[in-house]
Amino acid sequence: MNTVELAIFGAPPAFEEPLPVGQLYFPEWSAYEDAMRGIFERQYYTNQGPLTRQLEQALEARLGVRHAICVTNATIGLMMAADALGLRGKVITPAFSFIATSQSLTWAGLEPLFCDVDPLTHQLDPSRVEELLESNDVGAILAVNLWGDVCAHDRLLQLSERYGVPLYYDSAHAFGCSVQGRAVGNFGSLEVFSFHATKVLSAAEGGCVCTNDDQLAARLRNIRSSYGAGPAVHVRRTANGRMSEAQAAIALLSLDNFAKTLERNRDVFAAYRDTLAGLPGLRLIEPQAVSATNYQYVVCEIDTECFGLGRDELQAVLRAENVLARRYFYPGIHRCTPYDEYYPQVGERLPVTEALCAKVLQLPIGQSIDAAGARRIGEIVRTAQQQAANVRRNLGGLA
């Protein structure tokens, strides 16, 4: 393995252009132009247009799910889901997630009941879920399928049935994953995907709620459209969660390219795995519970003592190389506004979340990087570890 000259010591940055962490797939210009021309010619821009319907059918067929309801973004999909499920009160959910997970509950008038996660997989810990169900009046479980992996669904389902509370999923990170041949999108009462530009299937902005429950789907379709839509069913209130035709067009093109996206991600992930293998104090998180993953994120844990540098120091080293590694998720949701004010002491019962927020670092994957780039980043990380004492001195004691 090569040792490289580090930019923090004055070498030129390893990459000329900044390398972001997200997927950032965008179609070829000519395909994009054709799709936009079609929309202009039809003069039908939103409100369940032909491309949105086509996308929903393609998603239903691909996932083997009865209903795929496309929405503006996953955040509003999660808000609509909480209303469609008729939830009240406290909802068990991880604080180790993107803040949108909990914000969806707050917007729906619900209270997130933060639950700790598994230290190895980072997914919601069913034992901690059970403790919270025992000691609280709980309205639902909102689990998050993180990092192209999934939660311990069977155990969560048992708990949801035993305590009579619905189980639903924020699957913003899990499009394209499956568990023993069953596509993610078919688990729990419903699942919500994100099609944000940083996600493996992109509509630039967008999302989708999937369910096999006809009644729930009818409610979701009504909530999505301000005047209601489809068969008249009772809903508490409606919103505007509609996906535009431009978003649907991009998502359809992204879906056409999906096999290539997965192949590229697999190669990049394998290159990271090879170059980072055996590095003291660094653990690369590998999806555990899925039979197929999307490799949407490259997540590392940095153990400061063993690696010789802290996570933030390594991030500074990488930034100097134009590698925009991110600290997803930092801080934990429980330490963000307004939750830090609502629940100031909650960190005490989230020791795993607290530890992960201090040591997790996300490396680039997606369109802006190939396997050679991933190897280069791996070599930078390896060199930083080998020269940890000098790096630390140079950075001047960054935490």
- Greatest Cα pair distance, the chain, in angstroms, is 68
What's the distance, Cα to Cα, between the start and end of the chain in Å? 28
Decide whether 172 or 318 has the Cβ nearer to ligand T4K. 172
DSSP 249-270: HHHHHHHHTHHHHHHHHHHHHH
Kindly tell me which residue out of 8, 20, 175, 200 binds ligand T4K, with binding defined by CB under 6 A.
20
Judged by CB under 6 A, how many residues of this single chain contact ligand T4K?
22
List binders of ligand T4K among 56-115 (CB under 6 A): 73-75, 97-98, 100-101
Decide whether 81 or 324 has the Cβ nearer to ligand T4K. 324
Nearest to 215 by CA among 259, 258, 166: 166
List binders of ligand T4K among 320-359 (CB under 6 A): 324, 328
Kindly tell me which residue out of 67, 173, 264, 376 binds ligand T4K, with binding defined by CB under 6 A.
173
Decide whether 13 or 228 has the Cβ nearer to ligand T4K. 13
Min dist CB 17 to ligand T4K, Å, is 10
Q: From the CB of residue 37, how many other CB atoms can be counted at a distance below 10 Å? A: 10
**CB 198 within 8 Å of CB 24:** yes
- What is residue 115's DSSP assignment? E
Min dist CB 146 to ligand T4K, Å, is 7
CA-CA distances (angstroms) from residue 239 to 160, 207, 217, 242? 28, 15, 15, 9
What is d(CA 368, CA 379) in angstroms, rounded to the nearest whole number?
18
CA-CA distances (angstroms) from residue 314 to 172, 298, 308, 320? 27, 15, 10, 10
Choose the stretch contacting ligand T4K; rule: CB under 6 A; options: 8-16, 80-88, 192-200, 250-258: 192-200
Min dist CB 115 to ligand T4K, Å, is 15
Task: State yes or no: residue 363 binds ligand T4K (CB under 6 A).
Answer: no
Decide whether 49 or 366 has the Cβ nearer to ligand T4K. 366
The two tokens of residue 88 are 């009240």
Task: State yes or no: residue 225 binds ligand T4K (CB under 6 A).
Answer: no
Min dist CB 224 to ligand T4K, Å, is 15
Residues in contact with ligand T4K by the rule CB under 6 A: 20-22, 24, 73-75, 97-98, 100-101, 144, 170, 172-173, 194, 196-198, 207, 324, 328
